[in-house]
Amino acid sequence: MALGQFIEENAKYVFNTYGRTPIMLIEGRGCRVKDSEGREYLDFVAGIAACSLGHGHPRLAAALADQAKKLIHVSNLFHIEPQIRLARLLVEHTFADKVFFCNSGAEANEGAVKLARKFFHDRGEHDRYWIVAMENSFHGRTLATLAATGQMKYRQGFEPEVQGFRHVAFGDLVALEKALTADVCAVLVEPIQGEGGVRIPPQDYLSNVRELCDARGCLLMLDEVQTGTGRTGTFLAHERFDFVPDVVTLAKGLAGGVPIGALLATDRVAQAFVPGSHASTFGGNPLAASAAIVVVEEALSDGFLKNVSDKGAFLGAKLAQLASRYPLIKEVRGMGLMQAIELAVPCADMVAAMRERGVLVNCTAETVLRFMPPLIVTEAEINEMIGALDAVLAGIREVPDA
């Protein structure tokens, strides 16, 4: 079947919820993917930061094949060996004491909201259920995580909104302190705002948020769905900011592209969930957990995270060099292999132009070109992407007036 026919059948049979790129990817190896027409692309999207080990990773593929021959799914009515092994890995290498598994970042964040409310309900503080989140944030597309998301464009059309969320400016400690009234149970914040445009807070912001939460007796919950599992050069991004949270959510890169989410918490908070409080049919099933074990072990292997940090610094420096030559680039920002350039114009056309040059990137917040390659990317591949970006930028001759 030709690509055009597949596109027609997609329009006929699949909900029209995505503005899909007019190509169909069918295979990949490392940081490269190939489409149905045989064209190869360098992948700097990585399934939106999900394909941590790239495509066709031998160890990940073998683990999936081996587990699929044994058990794919049994439900959480039974003990699951790979799930227990994965939980132990996460606990031994993070702040957490307990882990709950689900299937996505939205589910993990939904679980965090429920956990925070249940924690205070069990203490008899039934009116303490409000959560303070950040403007420009993104936490998912369930009704509760939409309400937590600080971007109105995602919430429009789904009113009435779930109650119990208020928003303050990301990085504004004064506004946060005013918002932490006695009815607040938790603060929910991304260490780096991903869908909001790869926005990084001041170095001491998150540790100060921790201090405010302690002073007001509320929980600090971090959405590390996009920043976790090594993306920023440490296993969890908050490790760069010198504080300890109460709750962290993970997903995306945790299983290298296999759907999984995780809710990590300290014992003090985790005890609020008891049998019947929360559940997930597929969460942490044998197949997904086996994949995640491979990714976590690789991320924690000698030199892996340092390599991510070094390659991220290399990518950031290359982007900064382009910024010095092209006024179209307003700012370069990022951490590890989560990098971006903010442009003076919308970047959708640049995404298409990069694709024509054999490189896949994506646009967020309308004017931010985002670069999130697999964590195994090489300097040569970064240089290849930079060369394509240089050529695309050189072809844009007009810069809007400031």
Residues catalogued as catalytic: 138, 223, 252
Please tell me the distance from the alpha carbon of residue 387 to that of residue 396, in angstroms, as a whole number: 15
Q: Residue 318 corresponds to which amino acid?
A: K
Q: What's the half-sphere exposure (Cβ side, CA atoms, 13 Å) at 184?
A: 25
How many Cβ atoms are within 10 Å of 130's Cβ, its own excluded?
20
- Kind of pairing between the strands at 98-102 and 261-265: antiparallel
| CB-based contacts of 259, cutoff 8 Å, min separation 6 | 103, 104, 282, 288
Q: In what order do the strands lie in the sheet with 261-265?
A: 98-102, 261-265, 247-250, 219-223, 184-189, 130-134, 165-168
Give pairs for 267-272: CB < 8 Å, separation 24+.
Answer: 267/97, 267/98, 269/115, 269/116, 269/119, 269/219, 270/97, 270/98, 270/100, 270/115, 272/115, 272/118, 272/119, 272/121, 272/122
Estimate to the nearest angstrom the gap between the alpha carbon of 134 and the chain centroid: 16
Q: Is 32 helix (H, G, I), strand (E, B) or coil?
A: strand
Residue with tokens 């999900």: 50
Residue 196 pairs in a beta bridge with none
| CB-based contacts of 184, cutoff 8 Å, min separation 6 | 128, 130, 131, 132, 216, 218
Four-CA torsion 88, 300, 375, 328, nearest 10 degrees: 100
How many Cβ atoms are within 10 Å of 299's Cβ, its own excluded?
24
